[in-house]
Amino acid sequence: MKKRILVSQIIGAAAVLIARPNNWKLFSAGICFMLLGAAIRALASSAIVKSRTLTIAGPYAAVRNPLYLGTASMVLGLLVSLSNPQAPLRTGAVWLITAVSFTLIYRVQIKAEEEFLLSVYGEEFERYRSRVNAILPRPADIAGFFDRTAYSWEIFRKNKEWRGFLGMSAIAAVVAARIKYGF
């Protein structure tokens, strides 16, 4: 899906506009999930060398799609921060629409990427795919995240992941303002 980022941004903005967040504890819990997601994405983007090699080290040794695992954690954090126990139907609708939308978007994206990787790397990718989960790492595989040799500051800068962190920070600021000022 070529426009997945734009579509994701529209869905995220709609969730922020539709929800009526009002709870600082839920906001704080949501921020924790968002920060975890941002950290996972930062690690993944400092390990992946796009279009030159099949990256299977660092977070890619733990999960085939750590960037999308990070995105899922950030979306979960957003949904938690937007939750309002006094408006369960609105909150449920925001959760349902957002979760279904992101699941559909990223299932299509992962399928397309894996077809591409299979066509380029063949059996090497097939072996990798058979031993590493797509989204949720197995407990034994989490050690891959701690392989310091897999990371490069230069690759991180080239992949421009800092933009996602800035976007997440802006969304968090808007949600905080909505809670504080009740709009």
pLDDT at 2: 66
Distance CA 101, CA 136 (A): 19
Residue type, 165: F
pLDDT at 52: 77
Are the beta carbons of 72 and 33 closer than 8 angstroms?
no
pLDDT at 161: 87
CATH fold for domain 4-181? Four Helix Bundle (Hemerythrin (Met), subunit A) (1.20.120)
- pTM comes to 0.92
Write out residues in the chain with pLDDT < 50, as ranges.
Answer: none
